[in-house]
Every structure is written in C-alpha cells, then in structure tokens.
Amino acid sequence: MNVPALARGGVLTVALLALPLLGLEHWVLNLLIFTLMYAAMSSAWNLVGGFAGYPSLGHAAFFGFGAYFIGLWFQHHDVVSGYEPFVILPLVGLLAALVGAPIGWIAMRTRADVFAIVTITLLFVAQTLAFNLDDLTGGAQGLAMPTPPFELARFEWPFYYAMLWILLLSMALTYLSMRSKVGLSLDTVRADEDKALGIGIHVQGVKVLSFSVSVGLVAMAGGVWAYYETFVYPQFAFDPLITIGMVLMVFLGGRATLWGPILGAVILVPGQQYLAYKLGGSQLYLIAYAAVFLLIMLLMPRGILPTVADRLRRRRAVGTSSDAGPPTAAPPSAGAGSSVPVPSGGTA
C-alpha cells in the first residue's frame, strides 16, 4: 500500500469537500464545477489513451450519450427533490459501459492513428444522429431538462459534489488499476502489444475493459453537465473540443500517471474560462490550446509530472555521487601475459 499517495488523496478530498463551505461566489463555484468535470473526464480518458496507449478521439460521443440519457429519462419522470438525476448516475455509467464494450471490441482491433480515426468517426455519427432524430432528441432545437429546484444561495453545491464524486471514483479506479494485474497488462500492451500477446496476456479483454470503464465515467459527467445546463444541444453535447480538452489535459499533466490529468485540468480550464469570459473572445482559448500543445510536444513530450520527476531523480543522482567523493583508483593488476603480479603501490 502506497501510504504517501493515499495521504495526498485524503488531503485533496478533504480540501475539495470543504471548498463550497467557504462562501465562494457563484462564478467561482461554476469554474470549479467545470474544472472537476474535466479533471474527472481526463482521468477517465487516461485509462485508454494513457495506460493502454490508444488515443481515443471519440469520448465526447459518450459524454453526449450521458447528457441525452438524463434528458430523455426526465422527459418521462418527475423531479421532486432535485436529486433524482444524481441517483441514476450509476445507471448512466453502466449503460454507457455496456454500449461501449462492443464498440471498443471493434475499434480496438485497429491501432494508433487508425483507432483515432475510427473513434472520431463514431463521434460524428453520434452527433449526426442527435441532429436528425428529431422525435427523440429534439434535433437542432435541443432537449429541455427540468429546472433544478435548489435554493439560489447553494444552487451549485449539488453539481459540485456530483462532479467531485465522479472525479474521486475515476481516480480510485485508476489507482487500483495501477496496482493490479490489469494495470500491468495495460502497461505491457502500451509498450509492445505483440509481445503482450506472446506472453499470454488477454490483450483484447483488458483493452475493452479499460475502454468501457473510461466511457462510463465520461457519460456520468455528461449527465451532470446536462442537468446543470438544463438544456442539451447536439453541437455542444457532441463537441469534438470536449475530447480535445481531455487529451490535452492528459498530455500536459502526464500520461499514465494518477495526478497528471488533474494537474492538466487545473491549469487549462481556468485559463480557458479566463480567455472566454474576461477577454470577451470565446474562441481565443483555441489558440491557447494549440500553443500549449506545441510547447508540450517540444519541451515536455512526456508531460509535466514525468518530466519533473526525471529531473529530480537526476539531481538526486548527481548529489549522491558528489557526496561520495571522487572515485578511488583501483589497484593495478598484472596483464594477461604476466606471470608476476605487481604489488599495490609498487613499480614493475
């Protein structure tokens, strides 16, 4: 058991649980909700794109699936206390995982760039269906959600805690997978899939499992988002930029790490919100995204956390070698053809 990691997780959890109690402004809580949402989704994407090494570009399809599922469910069910949409979130995640399993089984028979193309095609198919199935989704007119009956002073609190729960669940599953045979299998698949097959790993099974769990978590985040926004439009629920955000946050913080996606979300989401709301240009963050991605690829291709960890290890190694002092010369020994050994410190 990694006690320091659990301690860090416990401190983070307590701090995040206490944040709404500080009397923060509504806009700050709104920013925190979206930061938690992207942190949770990036952590979920990391299971596939980071640990398995399969760069999915279609996760926004399942974000939209969760959003529309909540919307359609409450077209036929009443909201009384306001917490009913949160109660069915596990059902949303389970159904998305079940839908994602056959999709993952088919898509993951391809690799690398072909897999990315297959998954982004899935996203555009889902978006097209949402636009055209008017009787089911409302088409371009969108789908209305019931208005949450929460008091204005604490309106954001239920959504904040729901997103926090999804984030903690995603991090817990990531932590457990990193210390299990599943995580070891995914690392082996990422390193060399053919060798993984050769040593008896059930490659297709662990890949599909990671994909299903990942899209299930993303779908739950989509369900909370839909209820928070109270309206679902196809162009926003199935927005490719949602997936791009997940990918960039994972690359920024560090792939196949526990804390990397969270760090990426903490850096990028407030930056995007600042550009969108403070500077008055809602599309300026796309330029920032492109610049950040370029800098990462040039300066820190492994992400912030792995790069910093490598540099700290090198510094410790240099410090250890300097503390040990200069190496002492080994005593000379006789050559291969000499029959008389040379005494240490003597002359031949």
Encode pLDDT of 50-81 as tens digits: 999 999 999 999 999 999 999 999 888 888 89
Q: How confident is the model at residue 94 (pLDDT cuts 50, 70, 90)?
A: very high
CB 45 within 8 Å of CB 261: yes
Which among 243, 253, 262 has a CA at the least distance from the CA of 307?
Answer: 253
Asked if 107 and 57 touch (Cβ cutoff 8 Å), the reply is no
The reported pTM is: 0.89
Q: Rounded mean pLDDT of 302-323?
A: 85
Q: pLDDT band at residue 334, thresholds of 50, 70 and 90? A: very low
The pLDDT mean for the chain works out to 88
Q: How far apart are alpha carbons 57 and 11 in whole angstroms?
A: 33
- With contact defined as beta carbons under 8 Å apart, do 180 and 81 qualify? no
Query: How far is the C-alpha of 21 from the C-alpha of 15, rounded, in Å?
Result: 10
Closest CA to 260 of 49, 61, 30, 108: 49
Give the per-residue pLDDT at 111: 84
Residue in the structure block whose two tokens are 């159904």: 95
> Which of 160, 159, 221 lies closest to 18 in space, CA to CA?
160
Whole-angstrom distance, CA of residue 102 vs CA of residue 109? 11
Tell whether the model's pLDDT for residue 156 goes beyond 80: yes
Beta carbons of 36 and 98 less than 8 angstroms apart: no
What integer is the mean pLDDT of 16-23? 94
H-assigned helices in 133-156 = 134-137
Which of these ranges, 48-52, 123-127, 281-285, has the smallest mean pLDDT? 281-285
Give the confidence band of 151 by pLDDT, cuts at 50, 70, 90: very high
Report pLDDT for 58.
Answer: 95
